[in-house]
Amino acid sequence: MSENLKLVEYTKPIAPPVNSIGALEWLKKNLFNNWFNSVLTIVSAIVLYLVVTNALYWVFIEAQWAVISNNYKLFMVGQYPVSELWRVWVALLFASLLFGMSSGVWKGTMIRIASILTLIYLLHIIVPFTATESKVWLSAQIGVLIFGYFLGSFLPKAKWITLIGWFFVIPVSILLLRGFGIGAFPLVRTNLWNGLLLTILISIVAIVLSMPIGVLLALGRTSKLPAIKYFCISYIELIRGIPLITILFMAQIIVPLFLPPGMAIDNVVRVMIGATLFTSAYMAENVRGGLQSIPKGQYEAAKTIGLNPVQTTTFIILPQALRAIIPTIVGQSISMFKDTTLVAIVGLVDLLGIAQSVKSNPDFLGRHMEVYIFIAFVYWVIAYTMSYSSRRLEKSLGVGER
């Protein structure tokens, strides 16, 4: 009887030992475990202290941020006419709605992205220099985003509606921004599209279009038809051998050659085409890497269950290949986003271009530090959000696990 009791006691689950060490002990173990590390720790602490205090002093005391707040509209949308600004807000409403719906449909990573966006809107509402009208629009963005979340969660077929929405958001926004030259939509020429608006439009167009083109080029490269195969190889190798700046210059000269006489193409569109053609070649190489990572057995299994080559590629090979290269695709997108700064050279005024003109405004002489730090911060927030989302996405899709 007593032995039985003992047995029961032994089989009780035992919690794993808690690995707790005090703060002092942690310091000792990690920072002061020998004389060399102790010296390193102390030196780094001093350097860190000087950098942080000086940086904080500069940011909060010395810097004059009026150069940013007074020119905020310029940084965001450049010379886009104030009377037509509502169109930018409406385009953004569309995007906010989709971000909201996506977070309702897919939850997880999308909720985080939507939260970051909401946070950015909120910050803009809180800071004192935002115009009242803008605050109303910003609140509307948040409202639409939350509404989108509930739509995405509860609407039947929300997934499909959201996907279709994403498909149309860019063309619709571009049309809306440009206008039709009638009634409430007078034409806004693209030379007035500047600042962050231009940066984002060029990057998104180049990134989004380069994916399907890159996939086609990568598949074409493996084609059995020599004409297609060598066309793709030449294209990829040619573009990868030329700097983006050169391509942007060439887009100015070469693209018009392919157009019927008398038809002019807008400068911004030409740059978008140039950037897309450039990124596509790199996307193609990324996709090729993904395709090569698929074991031969997958092709064979698909064949033996009777799938034809097109079905095999669409259902079996591409989904796995693209999943495997999410990190590279996002890396590529981030560098494209940052490379848009080069468009200044062919006469477009992107975020960096606006920074250049703002800092040479006599009213804000000597404030270049503030200007550059601000735009660096904007680039960083966007680029970091992308890489953060990609890491989350990788995790949730289980990339790297088979």
Partner 1 sequence: MAQSQVKIVEDPAVQEGEAIITCTNVNKWFGDMHVLKDVNLNITKGEVLVILGPSGSGKSTFIRTINGLEEIQKGDIEIDGVTLSHDIKAVEAIRKDTGMVFQQFNLFPHMTILKNIMLAPIWVRKKPKKEAEKLAMELLERVGIPEQADKYPGQLSGGQQQRVAIARALAMQPEIMLFDEPTSALDPEMIKEVLDVMKELARSGITMIVVTHEMGFAREVADRIVLFDNGEIIEMGTPVELFDNPQHDRTKLFLSQIL
The binding site for partner 1 (CB under 8 A) comprises: 295, 297-298, 300-308, 311, 315-316, 319-320, 323, 398, 401-402
Cα dihedral angle (164, 170, 171, 175), rounded to 10 degrees?
Answer: 130
Minimum CB distance to partner 1, residue 301 (Å) = 4
Structure tokens at 155: 């609407």
Buried b (16+ CB within 10 A) or exposed e, 59-91: eeeebeeebbeebbebbbbbbbeeebbebbbbb
**Smallest distance from the beta carbon of 304 to partner 1, in angstroms?**
4
| For partner 1, the closer CB: 375 or 393 | 393
Nearer to partner 1, 188 or 316 (CB): 316
Nearer to partner 1, 237 or 300 (CB): 300
CB of 294 to partner 1, least distance (A): 10
Least distance in angstroms from the C-beta of 393 to partner 1: 14
In which region does residue 181 sit, left (phi positive, over 0), alpha (psi from -120 to 50) or beta (all else)? left
**Nearest distance in Å: CB 281, partner 1:** 27
Compute the distance between CA of residue 169 and CA of residue 91 in angstroms, rounded to an integer. 8
Q: How far is the CB of 183 from partner 1 (least distance, A)?
A: 47
Nearest distance from residue 306's CB to partner 1, in Å?
4
Q: Is the dihedral of CA 164, 170, 171, 176 positive or negative?
A: positive
Indicate the residue among 81 and 309 with the shorter CB distance to partner 1. 309
- Indicate the residue among 186 and 295 with the shorter CB distance to partner 1: 295
Q: In 127-243, which ranges are continuous DSSP H helix?
A: 132-154, 158-178, 195-221, 226-240
Q: Which of 154, 157, 161 is nearest to 98 (CA)?
A: 161
* HSE, side-chain direction, 13 A CA sphere, residue 131: 9
350 three-class SS: strand
DSSP H helices in 293-339? 296-304, 309-311, 318-324, 326-339
CB-facing half-sphere around the CA of 308: CA atoms within 13 A: 1
- What is the three-class DSSP state of 182? strand
Residue whose CB is less far from partner 1, 323 or 368? 323
Three-state secondary-structure class, residue 185 = strand
Sign, Cα dihedral of 107, 108, 113, 119? positive
Looking at the Cβ atoms of 12 and 224, the one nearer to partner 1 is 224
Number of helices (H), then strands (E), belonging to the chain: the values are 19, 0
Question: Which residue's CB is nearer to partner 1, number 242 or number 301?
Answer: 301
Alpha-carbon span 139 to 118, nearest angstrom: 10
- Give 212 or 295: the residue with its C-beta nearer to partner 1: 295
